[in-house]
Every structure is written in structure tokens, then in C-alpha cells.
Homo-oligomer: A and B are copies of this chain.
Amino acid sequence: MPDEVRLQVPERILLGPGPSMVHPRVRHAMSQPVLGHLDPRFLEIMSEIQEHLRYVFQTQNKMTIPVSGTGSAAMECALCNFIEPGDSVVICVNGYFGTRMCDMAARYGATVRRLDKAWGDIFSFEEIEAELQKGPTKLVAIVHAETSTGALQPIEGLADIVHRYGALLVVDCVTSLGGVPVKVDEWDIDVAYSGTQKCLGAPPGLGPITVSERAIEVLRNRKTPVANWYLDLSSIEKYWGNTRTYHHTAPISMNYALYEALQMVREEGLEARFARHRRHAEMLWNGLEEMDLALHVPLSHRLPMLTTVRIPEGVTDMEVRSRLIKEYNIEIAGGFGELAGKIWRIGLMGYSSRAENVTLLLNALKEILGR
């Protein structure tokens, strides 16, 4: 160990909506020496990251890369590359992240046709098709796992409808990837993106994205330049593809973390990882229901990695969360938007999804709530 590191931070039990806890292996990967962004060894690591990402996205898409920003940058990347001024887009809003997509799409000159549902509900394919029937649509954007509500939106089968109307299907998988199946090829998704700090188990800082051939075709046929330099996929692709043309300096250490985290996903195996997320979620749900706490989302479309629980009458949101962090070192989150003050959000993502964390949280809540 070198001269003493000045920065000291406590180790928290992170059971909020992300970032989730990061396994020491992944954290220590970041402390390896920095390589040049064109170093032969780094180029190898890049290729391996792309292979690993194809595995978790369950895709053969050539254009599968980590965007050099957080999941929000990946969201913007997924929109700005496929929207040209005047394009009409359909955005499904049943929580905060749908709202954010509307904001982004509008900044790129899109005519936004916003479909709204209550926060916690999901969309039926009929509702989406009814909107598509109204006129030409460039793309349909929808959130797979809404971190603000805890709802899991079914995606399988949606692409057939969207493609029938000549549109692209863009799916936000920030919270779902690595925790529940995201079958990009089988479901025929055109653009899927995620973040590193949820079920993939790396720190926040990169935004994996994968792009289908159909979407690449749309990108190639743009009439205007992408109105964003940093997130221009055609340029980024040249660095991540064969030519290795410099675009921006890759965040080397963050890519180390992503490499190691994805390596751990492969060691565990996707199916085993999904089962682990499900098992600990069920443990949590049973425990909460035994305390007579109501879950916000029905079992049929409830996320395993992010549980929303209604705050009981007479209980003060912040008081409980403050005690959790002060007395038990546990972070959970409150709701926001429509659900502010009404729910808690409990995340069991990636390395945070462990039986001991569930047991600890349930007992802490029992003590605090006196149930």
C-alpha cells in the first residue's frame, strides 16, 4: 500500500434504487494502473467488455458499447442519434424516467406524443398500437423497469407492433439489465441501454447501449448531423470498432470496473443471477407483508430488484429513513413525483441482493416501526 489515501468513506448497506453495493473485486479492479486509451492491452479489454455486454443484453449486435457517461447519458444517446428535428415520437410515461425521455426528445426537436399511465401501472400493447395508428412515428420509447415506481413493463411482442408501423423500439433497461431477462435479439429491440450501477454491480459512470442493424440503418440515413458531439454513435463506433479512431479519451478505470463486474456476471451466469434477484425479492416481499405493509405494485408486474412499499398512515418518511441510516447504516429511498412521501423504494440489485441484507432490513424496519 502506498502513502495513505486521504479520502475515507464509510461502507454503507445500499438498499436504495442505485447505486447498489459494489463487490470488492470490482472496486479493486479500478485501482489497477491506468493504460493509454490506445494501448494494445486496453483495446483487448474493450473488445472483452463488448463481448460481455452482448452476453448480458443477449444480443449479437455489433454496435454494443459502454457510453462514457452514466445511464442518463445512455438514455440521451439512445434518443439523440435516432431523432431528427420534426420527427414524431411516442413516449410511454408511467414514472419519472418516461418523463425524462420526453424532456430529452423535445430538446432534439421531436414532436413528442406522450402516453400517460398512473405511476406503477404498465402499458398494454393495444394502448401503444392505438397511438401508432394516429400517424407516422419515428420511434417508440418505453421503460422496462421503472425505478421510480417498481413496475416491470412487458416488452416481448411489442417490437412486432412497433415495426409494423415503421418505427424503432427504444427500451430503457437501466434497472432491469442483469436482474431480469433482457432479450434484445429475441424480443427484436432496436435500441436498449442501461447503467452500470444497478444490477450489473459496477459503480455509476458508464452507460451500456446496444443498437440493432435496423437502427444503424436509420442512423446511416440521417439527413442532419446528430445534435450532440459527445454521444454521436457514428463517431464513438469508430473508436470501439476496427479503426480505433480517437474520439474522446475513454474513462479507463471505469471500464476496468465494468470489465470485472461483467466478468462476475458471467461467472455467476445470467439465469442464476436472475434467480438470485427473484429469491431475495420474495424474501423481502414476504417479510414486508408479514409486517402488514402494502406493496405498491401488484405481483403480476412487480420488479424483483426494486420494491416499492407504501408508507403506513402516521409514519414519517424521513424519520424512518434517517434512523435506518444512522442506527443501521442502511440506505433506502423515498418516492418522488406522484409518489413523493407515499412510498419507500427498496433496491436489491447486483451485489446488494443478498439474504443477509434482506434479514437486516426487515428486522431494522420491525424495530423502527414497532411491528
B257 near A73: Cβ-Cβ < 8 Å: no
Most buried by B among A36, A231, A246: A36
User: Given A2-B23, A107-B229, A260-B5, are A72 and B36 also a contact pair (CB < 8 Å)?
Assistant: no
Shortest C-beta distance, A339 to chain B (Å), equals 14
| Chain B residue at minimal CB-CB distance from A27 | B31
| B252/A19 in contact, CB under 8 A | yes
Chain B residues contacting A24 (CB-CB under 8 Å) are 1-3, 31
Q: Mark A139-180, 1 if CB is under 8 A from B, else 0.
A: 000000000000000000000000000000000000000000
Contacts of A16 in B (CB 8 A): 36
Q: A1-22: which have CB < 8 Å to B?
A: 1-12, 14, 16, 18-19, 21-22
* Chain A positions 89 through 130: 1 when the CB is less than 8 Å from some CB of chain B, otherwise 0: 000000000001001101110000000000000000000000
B-binding segment of A63-71, A210-218, A270-278: A63-71
* Pairwise interchain contact B14-A29, C-beta atoms closer than 8 A: no
Within 8 A of B (CB), among A36-53: 36-37, 39, 41-42, 45
| Bound: A30/B84 CA distance, A | 39
The answer to whether A70 and B39 touch (CB under 8 A), given A32-B9, A228-B228, A229-B103, is: no
* A263 and B249 alpha carbons, distance in the complex (Å): 23
Interface-forming stretch among A197-205, A279-287, A297-305, A355-363? A197-205
Contacts of A247 in B (CB 8 A): 72
Q: How far is the CB of A332 from chain B (nearest CB, A)?
A: 10
Q: Is the CB of A249 within 8 A of B19?
A: yes
Given the known interface contacts A2-B24, A25-B6, A229-B107, the answer about A195 and B31 at a Cβ–Cβ threshold of 8 Å is no
Is the pair B33, A21 in contact by a Cβ cutoff of 8 Å?
Answer: yes
Contact assessment for A251 and B2 in the assembled complex, using a CB-CB cutoff below 8 Å: no
For the complex, is A87 an interface residue (Cβ under 8 Å from B)? Answer: no
- Which residues on B sit within 8 Å (CB–CB) of A260? 5-7
Instruction: Check if B7 sits within 8 Å of A34, measured CB to CB.
Output: no
Given contacts A23-B2, A204-B250, whether A69 and B29 have CB atoms under 8 Å apart is no
Known contacts A69-B68, A230-B69, A259-B7; decide if A331 and B39 are in contact (CB<8 Å): yes
Size class of the A contact interface (CB-based, 8 Å): 35 or more
Contact A70 B36 (CB under 8 A): no
Cα separation A220 to B251 with both chains bound (whole Å): 31
Q: Is the CB–CB distance between B104 and A229 below 8 Å?
A: yes
Task: List 14 extra interface pairs beyond A22-B34, A30-B31, CB under 8 A.
Answer: A2-B24, A5-B25, A5-B260, A6-B260, A6-B263, A8-B32, A9-B45, A14-B34, A14-B35, A21-B33, A22-B253, A27-B34, A36-B331, A205-B252
What are 20 A-B contacts with C-beta separation under 8 Å?
A: A5-B25, A6-B29, A7-B32, A7-B263, A9-B32, A10-B35, A11-B33, A12-B35, A16-B36, A19-B35, A22-B253, A36-B331, A68-B73, A70-B248, A70-B251, A72-B230, A76-B229, A103-B229, A205-B254, A227-B227
